[in-house]
Amino acid sequence: MPDRLVIAIDGPSGSGKSSTAKGVASALGLAYLDTGAMYRAVTCAYLDAGVAPDDESGVIAATTAAVLEISTDAANQWVRVNGADVTLRIREPAISANVSAVSTVTECRADLVSRQRAIIDAAGSGIVAEGRDITTVVAPDADVRLLLTADPEARMARRKAELGEKIDEVQLADQILRRDSDDSKLVNFTTAADGVTHLDSTFLNLEETIGAVLDLVRRTVG
């Protein structure tokens, strides 16, 4: 393995990219970055500021002004925005329902991409970063680039298993299908770009998916 290793993983909601990325980071002793958590944290910030989701200028202002801190320890994940710990809150359906107001605005994405690149650059021995535009925008020069997908039924089943009674079927479809549709207007995370390996995890469990990614890393960087 090289002295420094950057692995970029993209994929739609429920494809397993977060759990897979954490597993890979732990196996290789690398840092881990959940870029989606950053978008969700900023969503907390603009809602707490009383900004409506359709107030684009207000959302941009809240995003660029947000003081954002996020853990890169795969075993100890937390995120804070403007001094408040929002680690648990960012997974609530209300945040998922409003995060597209950030992720579909070019200025917001540009601000968060800049922050994400700084975190990646600061990771000494390397990092596994996951999201929607990591392989193409945030870290296009990553040593390993992967698009992780799964069919909609599998993705919704995984998210339901994760959230249980916290989410109903309507909210589930909104999180998986509507958010993917919204975000795809700015980012292509369903088709692998040139040089990006595609892995379909529909029929793989988490251990198998992590193993497949580790095999890809070994084949790619030795």
Instruction: Classify residue 66 as left (phi > 0), alpha (psi -120 to 50) or beta.
Output: beta
Is 164 exposed, middle or buried (CB count within 10 Å of its CB: 0-12, 13-18, 19+)? exposed
DSSP 22-66: HHHHHHHT-EEEEHHHHHHHHHHHHHHTT--TT-HHHHHHHHHH-
What pLDDT is recorded for position 127?
Answer: 98
pLDDT tens string 133-160? 999 999 999 999 999 999 988 888 887 7
Q: Are 60 and 102 in contact (CB under 8 A)?
A: no
Rounded to whole angstroms, how far apart are CA atoms 32 and 213? 15
Q: Choose the weakest-confidence range: 43-52, 80-89, 143-152, 153-162.
A: 153-162
Number of Cα atoms under 13 Å in the Cβ half of residue 136: 16
Q: Choose the weakest-confidence range: 56-60, 163-167, 208-212.
A: 163-167
Q: Are 95 and 88 in contact (CB under 8 A)?
A: no
Cα-based torsion angle of the residue sequence 121, 124, 127, 133 in order, rounded to the nearest 10 degrees: 0
Q: Average pLDDT of the chain?
A: 92
pLDDT tens string 107-119? 999 999 999 999 9
Place of tokens 């070994």: 218
Is 9 exposed, middle or buried (CB count within 10 Å of its CB: 0-12, 13-18, 19+)? buried
What pTM value is reported for the model?
A: 0.90
In this predicted structure, the answer to whether residue 182 has a pLDDT above a threshold of 80 is: no
Of residues 192 and 168, more confidently modeled: 192
Which residue type, as a one-letter code, is found at position 157?
A
Of residues 183 and 83, more confidently modeled: 83
* Residue 187 confidence class, pLDDT cut points 50, 70, 90: confident
Backbone angles phi, psi at 99, to 5 degrees: -70, -25
In this predicted structure, the answer to whether residue 59 has a pLDDT above a threshold of 90 is: yes
